[in-house]
Structure 1
Amino acid sequence: MDKATSILNGKFIFKALPDGGIDRTKAICIYCKSVFSFHRSTSSLKYHLAAKHTADAESPPPPSNLKQTTLGGVARRPLDVSTTCQLSTELAKWVSTSCRPISIVEDEGLRNIIRIASGDYTYALPCRTTTTTKMHDLYEGERAKVAEAVAQTSTVALTGDYWTSLGNHSYLGVTAHYFDSKWVLKSHVLTVMKTEERHLANTVAEHFMKVAQEWDIENKVSTLTTDSARNMIAASRELPFEHMPCAAHLLQRAITVTLNNSPFDGVLAKCRKVVGHFKHSPPNAAELEQQQVAHGLPKDALTQDVSTRWNSTLEMVRSVLKNKEPLKNTLALHTTKVTMPTPAEMDKLQKLEAVLEPCRYITELLGGEKYVSSSVVLPALSHLYNAMQVSEDDPAYLAKFKEALMNDLDQRKDKTNMEWLKVATALDPRFKDLKSLNKADRAGVWRSITALLRGISPAQPEQPTTSEPPKKRLALMFAESSTDDEEDTIETCLARYRAEPTIDLEACPLEWWSNHEGAHSLMARLARKYLATPATSVPCERLFSLSGHIVQKKRASLLAENVNRLVCLSDWLSPESPKKT
């Protein structure tokens, strides 16, 4: 008989609870099954034995109570220390990666689930302090792994942007991008750092340098990709890094500006009123859903365009065109000031959809961080220019819109880092024929690459300053004049790379470089530097989306260092998908 569950030498046992626990305030007689209140005094229990079970009390307890321990009984034993510690660590990981509040460790429902799953009904969740400590330990461990990985690469590209939380606090987010030894493109969050100062150019530059110094990569950073805000552009002039303006921002800004005061203004205003009529009224939305079902369409909500949300105008136009009949029938049920676009205006919307679709494709293409994007910018823009060619079937208003969009994009494209993009395009085996450039510009790209190769070619060892015998001066002179051979080697290296055939557009350029690095070692060093650069600052946009899930209304008062740890851990501990695609 277990002493922990019995008293008076096993003649009374504590009452068992349905969940497997025991109630130590109730004692049950093993002879007559009577239940007694127990408050640490056995006087009443002894009186019961003397009065009712005198003969039985002198004999040992019934043998039926001396059963062998069952598997269920074993399962209910308390968890050992190592298992409890492992559970605490996994809880800290769960809180970090799933954006859960730390207060969840005080949730009774979670505690009961773990008790049932483990069979230990005495298990207690770790407190907030323990969970926070575990998270800090996890952060330091994962940070050391990321720092070691970054230390092993020769060049790192950064993206950066500022974000304001619900608590009206400003944070700087920075991500790092590089190739590992197997040509796998890696991306890591470096920091989400709280900032107090105004975002002036010199302050912004100091913030980025501080992050680079904290990670010991200030001599490895090749580029910094940001949006085209004036303070970012001015800050880039004070930094020793190449600046890469976000290509997607440039394209979306050109679309937004061209749509203003365009021939599509009137019909877009009508669409916004129609969408708002159903967005702001649940009964109207319910009637629209009924009409969607009647027309065999899915019950999809309409999309409202937002000036700062990329491609939202295209999504609004699509939703209106797709639900043309349901919208028309629903609006006819009531007398409202909201009117559907006319057939001529619906035709305008269809033409606008056809124009904006290539822009959406390019935005999504350039916004990836799991594949090479900087080398795709110029071919993508070349495709867009071809798609925007005015045809004979285009009405005058559409031709005017296309020309205005391309003119605005031309002006913005000149502000980007064209030299970097040209070299990146040449280093991509899919586009190294440079068909996206004018023939006059192609020779200049290869001259630039030749100059870059001279800069990274192995330098001649320094000669000792001590005096040498006269017979060695001739050899020294020949050593100093060996630059012609070196130039020949660089020219041969470049010619060998240019002689390689271009690969299919669907092929992976990183796999090609992984297989050909030995044959083109100097070119591969350039490729690692130029192809790792993201063409957009979308990685930071995704980072701020994650930050928004963490810094919720109930967690708006999170300490800045905890925000940084939670965001970084959520990125570092999340399962990593293959990036050589």
Structure 2
Amino acid sequence: MEPDYTVPNRSSISNALSLKYSDLRGQISAIVANSTALSFTTDIWTSVSMEAYMAVTCHFITQEWKLSDFVLETKAFQLSHTGINIAQQLGDAADALSIPNYKRVAVVHDNASNMKLCTEMLKKEPEKWGNVQGVCCSGHTLQLCINTALTQDRIRRTVAAARNLVGHFKKSAKATAALKEKQTQQNVVDHKLIQDVATRWNSTCEMLNRLVEQRWPVTAVLSDPSITKKGDRTLDLTADQWKLAQETAEVLGPLITLTELLSQEANLSLSATVPMLFNLKKRHLSPEEDDSPAIREMKKTLVTEIDSRWQLLSLEPGSIYLLSSALDQRFKHLKFLENEKKDLVYIEVVRLAEHLHQQQTVPEMEELSGSHGEEETAAAVPPPKKKRWEISMLMQSDDDEEEEEHGDSAKKEMEQYLKDTTKVQSEKYSPWWKQNSDRYPKLAFVAKHLLCVPATSTPSERIFSKAGYVVNKTRSSLLPENVDKLIFLAHNMKRV
């Protein structure tokens, strides 16, 4: 159509890509530098060319109180996957954007031992990572709880029988065509059966739900001798198994909803984790009179696993889960806790607010003086946790001179905040704090630190979905640095 047009060669495209990457990285550096606090997620993925890549994403709340995120890098990981090596590469990603230690709040990762060791190594470097917290992915933790519950003998055998039944229809074109015909005859919705995947527990729930929905067309196909061989008719589930399959799917349904809510990037998810888990235990996992013994045992196992893996019954008042819940307007009254423990959580929020208020100007002074000595270490490491009687004195004491100098204390802000009944009708971001941050400046500063932490590591896993399109079979020879640039641009361009 345009004979005079010269198609750019490989070098031209590569140079244009590098220039765009450098320009966008500069913009992101400026945005990150203007943020109050950041959290990170990380994970490791293997491409079709059998090269390992480690993705690092950062999450923060903007000055307009909107949740935002960027992918920092997706770099080749050629070393052994030890916690020390992961910590080193994660540190390099944060250092490349000159993210100071006092802004590094948390690292969200899966439950692998090397990832847990990684955060332990980061805690040993307060000069780089301050008081960073390691947070296990809630989605992965919930999956471990459910996998344990599904190992119960009767449920395990029912799921295996359902899997074999679905597999029969997946392998037989004749049975699939007959199923479609039976659906029309019985006026059942035309849905295909779903085969579960071992690494996705929610697919097991979807498989059982779909099978129960299509029970009578499936039974009709299996009982038709002209379609199904005599030996395959035994694939049909027994009446007890059909009932158990339905009950199991009903128990797992709310857990799927919880996982989806915690995985949505636009939600304040970490602050909702513990309140939702307590609500789940109370409303959906409490035994009912008409529950079968297998379902009762399943619910009991789920409750035990959730309590154990999240340590719900022994959460410390200074837990990042409880602190973030206290600063989420939806859950600030902490109704799932006893009154005494609530007060301790509020005390910890006040202590953290005063500490951050005192230290937020120190980094600016250090940047002007170029000093990185004892003051920087003091800013990075919070004071040791106060004893019970010391905390009580903190809440009871009231230094008039200090309050006159610094305005309302964090204690007074907390008292007013708990009495505040102002509501904002919105499902996204944190509009309540956007409208009320001027009234509670110290608490708002803490909120930006704690509410930016996602509950799951799915943001870094979603990067690998993009990476799968970039590093495909026809582009398996891409250099690792070009893979990093392409994914960086693909994810971040629409966010800047």
TM category (shorter chain) comes to: 0.7 to 0.9
The residue number in structure 2 matching 1:447 is: 347
- Structure 1 residue 138: deviation in Å? 1.6
Is the 2:354–2:442 Cα contact (8 Å) retained in structure 1?
no
Paired AA for residue 348 in structure 1:
L
Match of 2:115 in 1: 232
Alignment-derived partner of residue 472 in structure 2? 552
CA distance in 1: counterparts of 2:429 and 2:23, whole angstroms: 33
Give the whole-Å Cα distance in 2 for the aligned partners of 1:194 and 1:282: 43
CA distance in 1, matches of 2:179, 2:426: 42
Note the 1:28-67 alignment, pairs <5 A: none
Query: Amino acid of the residue matched to residue 397 of structure 1?
Result: A
- Kindly indicate whether residue 235 of structure 2 is the aligned counterpart of residue 339 of structure 1: yes
The equivalent of 1:126 in structure 2 is 8
Higher relative contact order (CA 8 A, sep 6+): 2
- The answer to whether structure 1 residue 495 and structure 2 residue 378 are counterparts is no
Match for residue 140 of structure 1?
22
SS in 1 for 2:108: strand
1:458 Cα offset (Å): 3.7
1:280 to 168, 171, 184: 171
For the Cα contact (< 8 Å) 2:272–2:325, is it kept in 1?
A: yes
Whole-Å Cα distance in 1 between the matches of residues 252 and 425 of structure 2?
23
Alignment correspondent of 1:352? 248
Q: Residue 201 of structure 1 is aligned with which of 73, 83, 88?
A: 83
- Which structure carries more helix by proportion? 2
- Residue 379 of structure 1 aligns to a residue in which SS? helix
How far apart are residue 413 of structure 1 and its match?
Answer: 0.7
Name the CA distance, whole Å, in 1 between partners of 2:420 and 2:460.
36
TM-score with structure 1 setting the length: 0.72
Residue in 2 that maps onto 1:388:
285
Give the 3 Å change call, closer, same or farther, for CA 145–417 of structure 1 in structure 2.
farther
Q: How does 1:560-579 map to 2 (within 5 A)?
A: 560-574=480-494
The change in CA–CA distance for 1:181 and 1:406 in structure 2 (over 3 A counts) is same
Deviation at 1:429, TM superposition (A): 0.9
Q: Find the aligned partners of 2:69 and 2:202 in 1 and give their Cα distance.
A: 25
Q: Which of 304, 312, 320 pairs up with 2:203?
A: 312
Give matches, 1:404-483, under 5 Å.
404-414=301-311, 419-458=319-358, 482-483=401-402
Offset, 1:141: 1.6
**AA in 2 matched with 1:567:** I
**Counterpart residue type for residue 237 of structure 1:** E
Counterpart of 1:477?
Answer: none
Whole-angstrom distance in 1 between the partners of 2:433 and 2:109 = 27
CA distance in 2, matches of 1:572, 1:508: 20
SS of the aligned residue for 2:57 comes to: strand
Match of 1:531 in 2: 451
CA spacing shift, 1:502–1:516, aligned 2, 3 Å: closer
- Corresponding residue SS for 2:294: helix
Q: Counterpart of 1:570 in 2: which secondary structure?
A: helix
State which of 84, 104, 107 in structure 2 corresponds to 1:221: 104
- How much does 1:218 deviate? 4.3
Tell me which residue corresponds to 2:395. none
Is 1:290 matched up with 2:181?
yes
Please list the CA deviations of residues 335-356 of structure 1 after superposition, one character each: whole Å capped at 9, or x if unmatched: 1435111222111111111100
- CA–CA distance in 2 between the matches of 1:308 and 1:192? 23
The code of the aligned residue for 2:328 comes to D
The one-letter amino acid of 2:446's match is: L
Report the CA distance between 1:438 and its aligned residue.
2.9
Query: How much does 1:304 deviate?
Result: 1.6
Tell me, what secondary structure is at the counterpart of 2:56? strand
Check whether the contact 1:430–1:509 (CA below 8 A) recurs between aligned residues. no
Name the SS for the 2:180 alignment partner.
helix
Provide the rounded CA distance (Å) in 2 between the counterparts of 1:502 and 1:304. 48
- C-alpha change, 1:268 and 1:441, in structure 2 (3 Å) is same
Gaps of 5+ in 2: 123-128, 366-398
2: CA distance, partners of 1:287 / 1:122: 58
Counterpart-to-counterpart distance in 2, 1:280 and 1:382: 43
Contact 1:429 1:509 in 2 (8 A): no
Percent identity of paired positions between Structure 1 and Structure 2 = 28
* Cα 1:282/1:561, change in 2 over 3 Å: farther
**Could you give the per-residue CA deviations for residues 118-157 of structure 1, whole angstroms, max 9, x where no partner exists?**
xx34434322332222222221121111111111112111
Contact 1:179-1:186 within 8 A present in 2 as well: yes
Q: Indicate the residue corresponding to 1:19 in structure 2.
A: none
Indicate yes or no: 2:158 matched with 1:264.
Answer: no
State which of 286, 297, 304 in structure 2 corresponds to 1:400: 297
Matched residue, 1:518: 438
Question: Is 1:321 matched with 2:204?
Answer: no
Q: Equivalents in 2 of 1:501, 1:311: separation in Å? A: 38
The answer on whether the counterparts of 1:256 and 1:307 sit within 8 Å (CA) in structure 2 is no
Counterpart CA distance in 1 for 2:343 and 2:424 is 23
Amino acid at match of 1:435: K
Tell me the SS of whatever aligns to 1:223.
Answer: strand
Q: Distance in 1 between matches of 2:358 and 2:491?
A: 38
Residues 55-103 of structure 1 show CA distances to partners (whole Å, capped at 9, x for unaligned) of xxxxxxxxxxxxxxxxxxxxxxxxxxxxxxxxxxxxxxxxxxxxxxxxx
Report the equivalent of 1:22: none
- Measured in 1, the distance between the counterparts of 2:186 and 2:466 equals 38
Of 29, 35, 41 in structure 2, the residue corresponding to residue 153 of structure 1 is: 35
8 Å contact from structure 2 (residues 38, 59) kept in 1: yes
- Give the letter aligned to residue 143 of structure 1: R
CA-CA distance at 1:506 after TM superposition: 5.7
Q: Give the number of aligned pairs.
A: 441
Q: TM-score, normalised by structure 2?
A: 0.83
Q: CA deviation at 1:509?
A: 6.2
Secondary structure at the aligned position of 2:154 is classed as coil
- Higher-Rg structure is 1
How far the C-alpha of 1:442 sits from its partner, in A, is 0.6
* Larger CA deviation: 501-510 vs 161-170: 501-510
Aligned to 1:243: 134
CA contact (8 A) 1:430 1:505 kept: no
Root-mean-square deviation (CA, aligned residues, Å) is 2.4
The letter for the 2-side match of 1:392 is: E
Letter of the structure 2 residue corresponding to residue 491 of structure 1: K
User: Partners in 1 of 2:495 and 2:409 — Cα distance?
Assistant: 44
Who is 1:79 aligned against? none
CA gap of 1:161–1:535, structure 2 versus 1, over 3 A, is same
